[in-house]
Amino acid sequence: NAGVTQTPKFRVLKTGQSMTLLCAQDMNHEYMYWYRQDPGMGLRLIHYSVGEGTTAKGEVPDGYNVSRLKKQNFLLGLESAAPSQTSVYFCASSDNRGYSDEQYFGPGTRLTVT
Amino acid sequence: RKEVEQDPGPFNVPEGATVAFNCTYSNSASQSFFWYRQDCRKEPKLLMSVYSSGNEDGRFTAQLNRASQYISLLIRDSKLSDSATYLCVVNRNTGNQFYFGTGTSLTVIP
């Protein structure tokens, strides 16, 4: 099992450009999450999904959109990138017990917006 | 007020030492508690869940104090390989949202 994978691993964008980050998991997990990690801020939840076709906002959703068209994939989109979105983005998944279960994280995507 | 607060450290301890980290959470409705470990520039990985009665896994002991709303992690006989950042994580039973502390940095010195 590959676990949770993320594409791409690194990316540099210019302000105003758009991009999509892809997260894929092969563990048949119901729940998937997108976080960003900034120095001194810890991990903050952007959006999450409790199943195929469903999404919900987390703590810091502004400037991001998500889609979960297939159970194994969770996409994070930046429509118009801003320097404040420079961060490390982690995707995670967990089993359908949700809040009480372990989260498995992908290796992260390091995004720089200039 | 932040949902989860941790002392960022850094904690620099010699090999073989015992070190303890504390974490406080603000919402009394929090139901699930965890310690994750994150190595430099890597993804977080679950170290252990924290149960009401306290739990131990080898050299690691986790405690939960609901009355005071804090969680602790004790590491005995520290190894060089324990050097990492330790993240405190809580979840309420609604909303499926996990809240992470900023992490406590540990360096074990030979």
Specify the pLDDT at position B98: 87
Q: Does B51 touch chain A (CB under 8 A)?
A: no
Encode pLDDT of B66-97 as tens digits.
Answer: 999 999 999 999 999 999 999 999 987 665 77
In angstroms, rounded to a whole number, what is the distance separating the alpha carbons of residues B82 and B38?
A: 10
Q: What is the pLDDT of residue B9?
A: 86
Which residues of chain B fall below pLDDT 70?
Answer: 93-95
Chain A contact present for B102, CB below 8 A? yes
* Local structure of residue A111 (DSSP, 8 states): E
Cβ neighbours of A43 in B, within 8 Å: 44, 87, 100
- Residue of B95, B97, B101 with shortest CB distance to A42: B101
pLDDT score for B95: 59
Asked if A42's CB is within 8 angstroms of B103's CB, the reply is: yes
Alpha helices in A1-114 (DSSP H): none
Q: Please tell me if residue B82 touches chain A, with a CB cutoff of 8 Å.
A: no
The mean predicted confidence, pLDDT, of chain A is 93
Does B103 reach chain A within 8 Å, measured CB to CB? yes
Neighbouring residues of A30: CB distance < 8 A, sequence distance ≥ 6 = A50, A51, A71, A94, A95, A96, A98
Residue in A closest to B32 by C-alpha: A100
Any idea what DSSP says for residue B95?
T
